[in-house]
Structure 1
Amino acid sequence: MAVSWAASRWVARGLAVGFGAVVVAAFPEPALWWWAWVALVPVLVLVSTSPSWGEAALRAWLAGAGFTAAFYHWLATQGVLLLVVVAALLGLLWVPVGVVAHRLLRDRPAPRRLGLAVAVVPAVWVLTEAVRSVPVLGGPWAVLGLTQWNAPLLGGSAALGGVWLLGLLVVAVNVALTAVVAPPGGGRGARLVGATGAAALLGVAALGGWAALGGGARAEPASSQSQVVRVALVQPGDIADPAERLTAHAALTAEVGRIDGADLVVWGQSSVTGDPAQQPAVEAVLRRAAVDAGVDVLVNGKAGNPAAPSNTSWLYTPEGAQATYHKRLLVPFGEYLPWRPVLGWLKSLTPAPDLDRVPGSQPVAMRSAGITIGPLISYESAFPGLRRELARLGVDLTVVQGSLGTFQGSWLHAQQAAIEAVRAVEIGRPAVLGAMSGTSAAFDARGRLLLWEPHQVTGAFVVTVPLVGIDTPYVRVGDWALWVAAAVVACTAGAAVLRRVTRHRVPRGDQSSQNRSTST
């Protein structure tokens, strides 16, 4: 009996790793958006049927580690040990979800307790995602709401409450379905409530998406006279030599000017090596590129003191740089080493630079081609708050400059490009991503695909972008879904503490009777 129990315990733990890993199929590149709505059910069944909360916590941690290792598999190019450490640490953030799910879904939950689980488990999940999304931990690359980038109707709810609202809805459906497929003995009432709840939540998500992107949100033409802008995204490929890279960008830009024509040309991240202001020859090439294209050219490189450089974008015209933006959120262990005096030893495991780059301090809105554009640089594309800032500044179009040369050929290309669809829906503004050696993409204000050029191809791609601004609730209100999740968790925890205190408090009358009995 003991051997059988031990064997089944280790089988369950192994399954937890596998079940966590396959959740990744909902993200690009597999991009099975529908899988996200059921992918967590096997994990929730495993933790809810655990014999103790400790075993549930362990299974949740293993599932989280499996998910993290699968999602961030491209980190293995920097060392397998680094991937193992990241998976083990970030996997711990699944533990609170596992413990709460075990408490609320175990032992044939009554419909009332299942209803509580449908509210509380998603709230805990989204709060742990928010913790995992802080810049020093890698940012919000793997949040579950991003899986709905290619599901226009369901993903449209991002316009109401951002990617966090999508996450709440997706996890809530998974919790409801867990009661439906739970092992025998789960209770007919709970199964009925689960099936009804899952269908209702899907209906709410679809209705929310329709309301936000269909008749529920008012669309206004952009501030320019023309309602479209033609953007050329220059993608020369992964070129290591700085001089060859600059030459390739300039040649493709000249081709745009001769043949296609555009209103704006975008080069990717690290398209220029060093600060053009300190390199007259590079400065001349960039001015000439603007002349050849006949329009402004947005480029990127390192600026400032070589001992403390910043990741900077410049908007070039034939007269020189007319606007500048310094990257604000830097890649941990890529552009800087967090807590360098303490974690300096990690430099051998990561591509962290010898010198930390200096972050910028504020968003920038640039005027070009008669419209206002909001630039961001690579890693910053994952953070919804930065995009909302730009929308509140009144930009007509957000432009991200990417590269991804470090992780060439991995799923990260598609993952970064897909983020643009959700960001566009959230703020009701079109979004373009120009990647030097990644996947260049463009989406309209409703998240509909306009351009997708994978990393295997090179060239200059001109996309016509409709300039429509949608006054979304997310832009007006912000991350209210996170505050709702926090309130749900706080109220539930407070009620649980109150019940425990009340249960252990001895009533005054009973205490008096007990004292009289003792005296006698």
Structure 2
Amino acid sequence: MRGPFVIRRRGGRADLSPAPRRSGRGAARSLLAVGCGALPVLAFPAPGLWWRACLALVPWLLLIRSAPGARRAGLDGWFGGLGFMLAMHHWLLPSLHVFLLPLAALLGLLWLPWGWLVRALLGGTPSLPRAAVALLAVPSGWLLVELARSWEGLGGPWGLLGASQWQVPAALRLASVGGVWLVSLLLVAVNTAVVLLVASPGRRAVGVAGLAACALVVGTAAWGVPAPRESGTVRVGLVQPGVFGGPDGPEGRLARAEALTRSLAGQRLDLVVWGESGVGADPTGDPKLAARLTALSRAVGAPLLVNVDARGADRPGIYKSAVLVGPSGLTGDRYDKMRLVPFGEYIPARPLLGWVTSAGRAADEDRRRGSEPVVMALPGRGAGASPPRVGPLVCFESAFPDMSRRLTRDGAGLLVVQSSTSTFQGSWAPAQHASLAALRAAETGRPVVHATLTGVSAAYGPDGRRVGRALGTDASAAVVRELPLSGTTTAYVRWGDWPLYGALVVVGAVCAAEGAGAFRTPAPARRGRRARTARA
């Protein structure tokens, strides 16, 4: 005989009967997990309900801790991760179509071991030591999931929980100490403390202590972490030509960008920034285009940082490159994008997955990668202080904290992001992307400008706070932002991703203790008639 059976007593005699099927109940629970996993996305732009991040994980955690066994807890983690990834990346549906579902399911697997961890520490009635350990280990496990999915090949660090707090000054101060990772860690700790407070009446003291500790950390960040010291200003023009369609779209967009740039003449700018792919040919191999851009730089009295999406004049393949053009011509400073968007700019394992191009708007040809970051020196305006050195990033790269940290350590005083989210107009993507620059500014203590073709374009000071209004996706305009400079070296720039190393130590210690039997989670008590389940 095979399968689960239930032993029931009937008239003093044992009766072995097949256990009732629970497939319907399991499916309903899986759908509930998907919904619970999607809730945190409401804290991000465009909904922007940032405060929900402090409670958004509570339903998911409560569901996992009630799992009847480790297998079900893992499934709750997996399906919750599936819901989170689908909700966070739903705007990719027009590009990837049905292929988005298996991708989300694959990435959701990263939360499966987190489900085991949550149940092991929060399931049943946790002892005081187990509840105290949960306050550290559950957030640490979440952080390791964020680390794993931050690998470029898995889509990169888009939608890290801490990034939802981009408008909260205390969270930005925390980011200057431990990056976006420290903000994520604290948010999950708050959610874990709330679960202990609500679901474990005997352990409410631990939940209260956890909330008090989190409040202490936030207060210390708000009033104890010094703001970056200002050391001058830089004047930057952001040019956003807007949406141009039809066969003359690229040329019309270029002409509009030129007209907007000329309107900035006489404003004593240090730099004018265009969005990603604003130039459709490589000016190093096109003398007429190079002369056209040079004349424009001379007319406005400032260097232009344009972005080229084209085949190289003297090298094979297509590159996305930030190119600096001064009043005297091409300066020779060029940065080629290093981290490419999976499926958008290249197809991973193209011989195996190349069919995706027929099912959605995936890359027909793989872009080439740059080899190293570049810090550019701007030509000065003559008398006065020299302008800061510029560290360029292209689009997707602004999601990676380590890239802006590297540019800062290499001497960049201003970080520039050139982006284009025109494919996703009307979705949450443009606002989410622009908000990432606030975290990068706070982490590095350097001002950041985020210039796009079609919005959202914005600028942030070295403390991560936005300077002036952002240009929305309905705007075709050029604006000037005067940004404070800072030479302060933040703790994050100095020490890097130390919260991740701490999380590895904590989770490793918990796994070792679990292997030794230190955390044994009883199954939830059954209601009604007692039954014993046997397998034959």
After TM superposition, is the score higher than 0.5? Answer: yes
Query: Which whole-Å CA distance do the structure 1 matches of 2:65 and 2:393 have between them?
Result: 42
Provide the rounded CA distance (Å) in 2 between the counterparts of 1:347 and 1:202: 49
1:144 maps onto 2:156 in alignment = no
AA partner of residue 233 (structure 1): L
Question: Which residue of 2 is the match for residue 289 of structure 1?
Answer: 296
Residue aligning to 1:248: 256
SS of equivalent residue, structure 1 residue 374: strand
Greater RCO, CA 8 A, separation 6+: 2
Counterpart of 1:231 in structure 2: which amino acid? V
Matched to 2:288, the amino acid is A
Offset at residue 81 of structure 1 (A)? 0.4
In the alignment, which of 203, 228, 239 is matched to residue 244 of structure 2?
A: 239
Tell me the alpha carbon deviations over residues 224-264 of structure 1, each in whole angstroms, 9 at most, x when there is no partner.
xxx11111100011224221121111110001115x45221
**Which whole-Å CA distance do the structure 2 matches of 1:187 and 1:102 have between them?**
17
Contact 2:455 2:475 in 1 (8 A): no
SS in 2 for 1:269: coil
Structure 2 counterpart SS, 1:464: strand
Instruction: Tell me whether 1:469 sits opposite 2:478 in the alignment.
Output: no
Map 1:272-283; keep pairs closer than 5 Å.
272-283=279-290
Taking the aligned partners of 1:84 and 1:66, their CA distance within structure 2 comes to 10
Give the AA of the match of 1:195. Answer: V
- Deviation readout 1:496-519 (Å, 9 max, x if unpaired): 33448xxxxxxxxxxxxxxxxxxx
Aligned to 2:14: none
Asked if residue 348 in structure 1 is aligned to residue 343 in structure 2, the reply is no
Question: Structure 1 residue 84: deviation in Å?
Answer: 1.2
Partner of 1:308: 317
Aligned counterparts of 1:409 and 1:280: Cα–Cα separation in 2:
37
Give the aligned partner of residue 317 of structure 1: 326
Write out per-residue CA displacement over residues 265-288 of structure 1, whole angstroms, 9 at most, x where no aligned residue: 000000000211222332222112
Partner secondary structure for residue 455 of structure 1: coil
Which of 282-291 and 490-499 deviates more? 490-499
Offset of 1:117 from its aligned partner? 1.0
Deviations 1:103-126 (A, max 9, x none): 111111122111111111111111
3-state DSSP of counterpart to 1:409 = coil
Cα distance in 1 for residues equivalent to 2:109 and 2:359: 21
What residue in structure 2 maps to residue 33 of structure 1? 50
Instruction: Assess if the C-alpha contact under 8 Å between 1:58 and 1:95 holds in 2.
Output: yes
RMSD (Å), alpha carbons:
1.9
Which has the higher mean CA deviation after the structures are superposed, 306-315 or 166-175?
306-315
Q: Would you say 1:210 and 2:223 are equivalent positions?
A: yes
Structure with greater helix percent = 1
Alpha-carbon offset, residue 350 of structure 1 = 4.2
Structure-2 separation of matches of 1:403 and 1:228:
27
**In 2 relative to 1, CA 231–120 (structure 1 residues): closer, same or farther, beyond 3 Å?**
same
CA 1:454–1:332: 2 relative to 1, 3 Å: same
Using the TM superposition, give the Cα deviation of residue 7 of structure 1 relative to its aligned residue in structure 2, in angstroms.
Answer: 5.5
Task: State the shift of 1:19 in Å.
Answer: 1.5
Question: Who is 1:43 aligned against?
Answer: 60
Q: Which residue number in structure 1 is paired with residue 336 of structure 2? A: 326
Deviation of 1:3 after TM superposition, in Å, equals 7.3
1:461 positional shift: 1.0
Q: Find the aligned partners of 1:4 and 1:343 in 2 and give their Cα distance.
A: 38
Does residue 270 (structure 1) correspond to residue 277 (structure 2)? The answer is: yes
- Give 2:289's aligned amino acid: V
Q: Does 1:160 align with 2:177?
A: yes
Q: 2:351 and 2:215 mapped to 1: Cα distance?
A: 49
Alignment of 1:396-475 (within 5 A): 396-451=413-468, 452-475=470-493
Alpha-carbon distance between aligned partners in 1 of 2:326 and 2:27, rounded to the nearest angstrom: 64
**Structure 2: runs of 5+ lacking an equivalent:** 1-5, 7-18, 381-386, 519-536
Number of aligned residues = 487
State the AA in 2 paired with 1:204: V
Distance 2:26 2:61 in 1: 16
| Inter-partner Cα distance in structure 2 for 1:83 and 1:354 | 18
Which letter maps to 1:219?
R
Per-residue deviation, 1:344: 2.1
Instruction: Give the Cα–Cα distance (whole angstroms) in 1 for the partners of residues 501 and 360 of structure 2.
Output: 35
Shift of 1:210: 3.2
Matches within 5 A, 1:164-243: 164-182=181-199, 186-188=200-202, 190-214=203-227, 219=229, 221=231, 227-240=232-245, 241-243=249-251
Identity across matched positions, percent: 43
Provide the rounded CA distance (Å) in 2 between the counterparts of 1:210 and 1:247: 48
Q: SS in structure 1 opposite 2:142?
A: helix
Distance 1:46 1:37, change over 3 A: same
Amino acid aligned to 1:335: E
The structural deviation recorded for 1:486 is: 0.6
Q: CA deviation at 1:211?
A: 2.6
What amino acid is aligned across from residue 247 of structure 1 in structure 2?
A
Q: Secondary structure at the match of 2:157?
A: coil
Q: How far, CA to CA, are the matches of 2:49 and 2:141 in structure 1?
A: 24
Write the distance in 1 (CA, Å) between the matches of 2:25 and 2:366: 49
Corresponding residue number in structure 2 for 1:386: 403
Superposition TM-score, scaled by structure 2 size = 0.87
1:461 aligned counterpart, secondary structure: strand
- Corresponding residue number in structure 1 for 2:38: 21
Q: Tell me how far 1:9 sits from its aligned partner.
A: 4.2
State how far apart, in whole Å, the 2-side matches of 1:137 and 1:6 are: 31
CA contact (8 A) 2:347 2:353 kept: yes
Letter in structure 1 aligned against 2:38: A
Q: Given that residues 382 and 419 in structure 1 are in contact (C-alpha distance below 8 angstroms), is that contact kept between their aligned partners in structure 2?
A: yes
TM-score, with normalisation over the residues of structure 1? 0.90
User: 2:234 touches 2:484 (CA, 8 Å); kept in 1?
Assistant: yes
Offset at 1:453? 1.3
Secondary structure of the 1:453 match is coil
Query: Are 2:37 and 2:60, in contact at CA under 8 Å, matched by a contact in 1?
Result: yes
Q: Report the Cα offset of residue 205 of structure 1.
A: 2.7
**TM-aligned CA deviation for residue 168 of structure 1:** 1.1
For residue 171 of structure 1, give the secondary structure of its aligned residue in structure 2: helix
1:366 match: 376
